[in-house]
Structure formats: structure tokens, C-alpha cells
Structure 1
Amino acid sequence: MKCPLNVWQQESVTATALAEAAENGFSLLSFKSEKYTDCVLDIQKGSQKYEVLSIYSPRYLAQNHYIDLNIDRCDYLKIRYEGTRIDCSLLEKKSGPDQLEESEYKQLLGTLDKFVQHESWDTIDRDDGLEYKRYHGAGKKNYFAGYSQTIMKFRYSEKQRVFGYRKGDRFRVILIERDHKISNNG
């Protein structure tokens, strides 16, 4: 998100942290302020233009610097979707996104973003691309037999699925499937 340009067009940032961040290619950790909260600041020095990230929330920090901060994919999902319809707090590394190729991981993020942007659970149910539905595992092939909740699944690619259950207004992710072996059995 870009910060409003009119805030910066006539304001001098000479000898400030903004100028230093622009000159050195750094992000800026900000205090809560309407004009500095989680956005891209446009800084101009002569004819040279710079973009500086103004970071306030942990989500925006992780979104823009998770590789630099060495945040693994599982923890990143927990941070990215905190407070949304998706809850990744139960997701374990062994059954999570670390097993995915980069392109598969990007598809997962795109689908999770789509899931949280839906207006309601009704629109999620009607989204043919997600194919949000109940998992019907049976007997020895029921991978979620230990759960008392109704296990649901939705697709994030042709073969790949996300499994979890709904608690209140949140979908609690418990497993990310890459090879469709679990989904084949339910």
C-alpha cells in the first residue's frame, strides 16, 4: 500500500531516519501514525526516487522481510493470517508448507488470501475453485480419526488440499497436502 503522496510532496525529510533509510535501501520501523502505518513511502532526493517501507505491524514486517528474518514458512503463515478467517496456529512443520516447491507455496498463499477475502462462509461454499467440502475418511484410511470436529478440506491447486476444521468464524488449518493421497481417501 502506498502512503498518500501529498503527505510527502512538500515535506523535507533531510537529516531524518526516512532519508537514511532511502539512501541505504532499508525499511523503517515506525510508531503508530496514520501516515506511517504499514505502507510504502515515496522519497525523492533531487531526481532520484526511493521507496521506503514504513513498518508498524508484525504482519507487514513478516510479509516484507520473512526471508531476511529467517522466518520459516509455517511461522510466516501463522503471522500472515493472524486475526483473519484462517488460523494456522495448529499447523505443524512436518505437515505444512515446508514440503512445498516455491511455486506451490505461492499458489497456497494466493488461495489462502482468496479464502480470507470472501465475504462469508456461504460465498466460500459456492466458490467452485476452492471446492470447500467435508472430508469423508473411513476406517484405517481416516487420517483424522482422532479429531472430534468435522474435518473439512479445500483445494489450492489441481492435486493439493488444505485440511482443517471450522471453529466459530475461523478455519483452523491442521494439514497441507501436496500429493492428494489423503484426499483420495475421503
Structure 2
Amino acid sequence: MSAHRTADPTSPAGKAVKIWDPFVRLFHWSLVGCFAANALFVDDESDLHLIIGYVIMSLVAARVVWGFVGTQYARFFSFAPSVSGALEQAADMVSGRTHIHKGHTPLGALMIYNLIATLAIIGLSGWMMTTDLFWGVEWPEELHEIAVTWAEISVVAHIVAVIYESRRTSVNLPRAMVTGYKHLP
């Protein structure tokens, strides 16, 4: 299947480009559902909280592997962290310049790395609290709570940034994460 296709008349103007493969989209939305469930609905003392935590850790582990063997835009090399790129994107946002990125933007890449690392810390500290070695030790629980708070802040920032960048660049990023195609102006 070609990476490019002509947009049909019912889709937004511009070229539709296949960016997000089914694994990336399934990972993303599964992670959204599991994290939201554990953060908002499930009692943290319940077995379900632990099960969802293990599912999240499995998803993160699978995504890390996919970051090395997956499709072009899923691979980490396609969105290596770049402070200069992030500063340039921030300057574009302030000045009103628009630079369209096929895959992750530089700021988006930093957010992905942030979330993967934060979720790994949440999972590791949560698991530590279930072991005999760390039973009753306070720092794993404190680390867990700090990391969860940081993840929640990061998720809110991510959602706000996706909405803002979608409007600013005229690229519907949520739709792309559902369909796999970015409609580039």
C-alpha cells in the first residue's frame, strides 16, 4: 500500500498520508482507556487496579519494542528527542509560523518520551509496593504518587497541545490517531 493517497472529496482538503500503523493506534487508545480507568474510576487498593497496571506495563514494553522494529513513524529514530527542535517549534508557535511534521513534532516527541518514562516509573514503583522487600517502605509509594501526578499533568498538557496544534496547523491530530492518516495542507 502506498504511503500517499489522494484525499477524497468527503475528507478535509490536502493530501492524506498514512502515518500511524494499527499497532500505534491500538497502543495509544488502549493506554488512554487503562490509564483513565486506574486514575479516575478504579479503587487503588483493588486487584483490578493491579491488573490494569500490569496491562499498562505490557503496553509500554510492547511500545518500546515497536519503537525499534515498527513502522517508519513508530520508530524512535524518526522522533529522536531534540531540544533545539522543541525550542524551534515553541518559537513557531509564538510567532505564528507553521511547520507541518508528518510524524511526531519535536515537542510531541519529548512528550512521548516523558510519558513512557513516567509510566515505567509508575509501574515499577507500583510493583515494588506489592513485594515483601518493599512492604511498608514509604518511598516507593511516594514515588508512585508523584509519578502518577506528573503523568496526569502531562496527559492534560498533551491533550491541550494536541487541540492547540490541530487548530494552529490545520492538521486534525485526533482524527489521525483514529484513522492512521494525517491530512496535510
Q: What TM-score, normalized to structure 2?
A: 0.22
Q: What TM-score, normalized to structure 1?
A: 0.22
**Of the two, which has the highest radius of gyration?**
1
Larger relative strand fraction: 1
Q: Kindly indicate whether structure 1 or structure 2 has the higher relative contact order, using CA contacts under 8 Å at least 6 residues apart.
A: 2
